[in-house]
Each structure stands twice: as structure tokens, then as C-alpha cells.
Homo-oligomer: A and B are copies of this chain.
Amino acid sequence: MAFSKGPQAARITSTDVARAAGVSRATVSFVLNGTSTARISEETRSRVLAAADELGYVPHAAARSLRAGRSDLILLPAAVSATGRLFSDWVDDMETALGERGYTVVLHGNRSPDPVTAARAWAQLRPAAVLAMAPNSLTAEAVQVLAQAGTTAVLTIAPEPMPGVFTLLGDQSDIGRVAAEHLVSRGRRRIGVLMPTERGLSAFAEPRLAGIQRVATVHGATVTPLPMPYGGEAASALAVLCRELGLDAVFGYNDEYAALLSAALNDHGVDVPGQIAVVGADDLLLAQIVRPQLTSVRYRLPAADLIADTVDSLINRGTAEPLPSVWFEPVPRQSS
């Protein structure tokens, strides 16, 4: 496709609007922001609005927040690809809820090697709030970086409260714990744990593994970590390995990986759950689609509206009421 740039369109600023409406820039600002300290006549008001509309004026967010000293940007660090449907639906709801409260939500795919580097990248944008939902995405130093950039509304999920951060109490290792307790109660003792090799997922996978190991130790079960990239051949190879190792159960990291492995086991003539039980996590619809239907671990976050109110309060008052913990429960189905 041939493509060449059209003529550069004129850049419209509030000065242009002011000139067109025959008022000062200050008046334009008052009208457009509905500032109540200044009373603007209805006639002036509509003239300004008409001029802005006519010229196709769009305010410059950067200039606005630079001057105002606050921004309406909320940063949600998350790699889309590392996002199951459960979380992405929640993100969607958060965007809606925060949008209704006047914020601009933006997802920032996080390619940083460590929390401080990541925090620096976020801090450049001077967001009003950062919602760091991935485990271990924050350290004290990272929080400090954000604070120095003026972002004091920081929210995260962690096993215990982090200083200076609004912490949603929740522990990924509980997912492992719940899954392991379920498997052990079903008599399984040789548990494999699928570890996805995709970047960004080990932060979730490691604690899940740890949770399983804790339960296993108590009940004298063995735990074997099984690295696996998301793909059919890898799953097939791993299915063979599972049989060779004589495992009687696999925790599949989440439903997607678990379903992949379960199908591969099936292809290799391994009966699920007869020979090997498989448990996933996230309780995606996928778990109900596949056969055998997949046992899963569901987690629930507080409702988006509740969290949005919290974030809003954090931004405006610097403090917020505690929220209920993140909460995990097993959903037994055919695969275990």
C-alpha cells in the first residue's frame, strides 16, 4: 500500500478557541473545566463551547496536568498476553468504573527486568495512581520512586500489607495450597507442578508452587516442578514425562496450561483422572468446555466499583477504607 503524509493539520490550542470566541484563555479554561470559582455568563459560555467545537479543539492532557500538578492518568501495569480471561474481564470493569470517575486508564505492558526499573518507567508518566496487580511487581524502593514522582495512590495484591501501598490481601500461594489440599484429599501423593516458561508468569507460578510444596510436606507427598512453554509439542513431551515419572496428579498452573496438558495426556492414552488427576486455576470457561471438565481454583477480587472508589479516595484523600481479601476456592470437576 502506498502511503504518504497529508498536509500537516493546524494545531488548535486554547488560544485559538479564545480568539474565536472573543474571550481570554482564562475564560476558555473556566468554561471547559466548569470551574465554579468564576461565574461565566451563559452567553459567553455557549460562545466558547461553540468555538471549541467548531475548531475541533482537544485539550492537551500533558500541558493540563503539568500546570495543574495532578493528572487523571491511572496506570495498570499488565502484559495483555499474560492475562487470563478472569483478569482481563476485571481490567475491563476497572476501566469502566474509573472512567466513570473521570480517570483515564492506560495499560502499560511491563518489559522491565526489576521493580525499580519498571517503577521508573511508570513514574515518567506521572500517573495519579498505579494499580500493580501482578505479584512482586513492587518493592519498597519502587514505591519510593513512585512517591517521588507524585504517585502516592498505589494499589497492589500481596500476602501482607506493604508500607505506603494500599494492599489487597491475597496470596498466590493459596491457589497452590487449595489445589494441593484438594489433590491430597483425593489420595494423590505424587504431584507434578506445571511451570510456564513464558516471561512474566513466574511471578505467579513460583508462589503457587510454594503453596503446593507446603501442603505436600505436611502430607508426605512429593512435588515435581515441570517447566513447559505454552504449546502443543511441549505439552505432548510433558505428557510422556508425567507417565515416566509415575505422577498421579498435576497442577497445571492455570486452566489454559492445564487443559493443554490434559488433552496431551489423553492423546498419549493416559486416563485423566484415572491415572493422573489434573487441576487448573482461574476457573475460566475453558474449564467447562474441555472433556474431562477441568477441576479448577477460582479466585475473586473485590468488585471493580469498590476498588475504583478506593483508588479515588486514595488519590483525593490519601487514604481509604480496608477492602475484603482476595479469596480462593476449589471448583471440583471431572479431571480430579
Binding site for B on A (CB under 8 A): 1-6, 8-12, 56, 58-63, 65-66, 71, 78-81, 83, 85, 88-89, 91-92, 95-96, 99, 104-109, 111, 120-121, 123-126, 144-145, 147-150, 152, 161, 163-164, 166-169, 230-232, 256, 259-260, 262-263, 266, 285-286, 288-291, 314, 318-320, 322-323
- The answer to whether A60 and B322 have CB atoms under 8 Å apart is no
CB pair B124 A107 closer than 8 Å: no
- Given contacts A83-B88, A285-B260, whether A8 and B152 have CB atoms under 8 Å apart is yes
A285 and B230 contacting across the interface, CB-CB below 8 Å = yes
Pairs A–B under 8 Å by Cβ, sample size 16: A3-B314, A4-B318, A5-B318, A58-B148, A61-B126, A62-B126, A79-B92, A80-B88, A81-B89, A95-B109, A99-B111, A104-B121, A260-B289, A263-B291, A286-B286, A289-B290
Q: How far is the CA of A173 from the CA of B317 in the complex (A)?
A: 50
Q: Which of B2, B121, B161 contacts A1 (CB 8 A)?
A: B161
Q: Which residues of B contact A60 (CB under 8 A)?
A: 66, 124, 126, 149
Interface of A is mostly: mixed
How far does the alpha carbon of A9 sit from the alpha carbon of B169 in the complex, in Å? Answer: 25
CA distance A109 to B74 in the complex (A): 12
Q: What separation, in Å, do the CA atoms of A85 and B125 have in the docked complex?
A: 28
Which residue of chain B has its CB nearest to the CB of A79?
Answer: B92
Q: Are B61 and A63 touching (Cβ within 8 A)? A: no
Distance in Å from the Cβ of A124 to the closest Cβ of chain B?
Answer: 4
Contact across chains for A109 and B91 when beta carbons are under 8 A apart? yes
Expressed in whole angstroms, the Cα–Cα distance for A107 and B2 within the complex equals 27
Given A3-B167, A81-B91, decide whether A106 and B104 contact each other with a Cβ distance below 8 A.
Answer: no
A7, closest chain B residue (CB):
B147
Decide: A6 and B88 in contact? CB cutoff 8 A: no
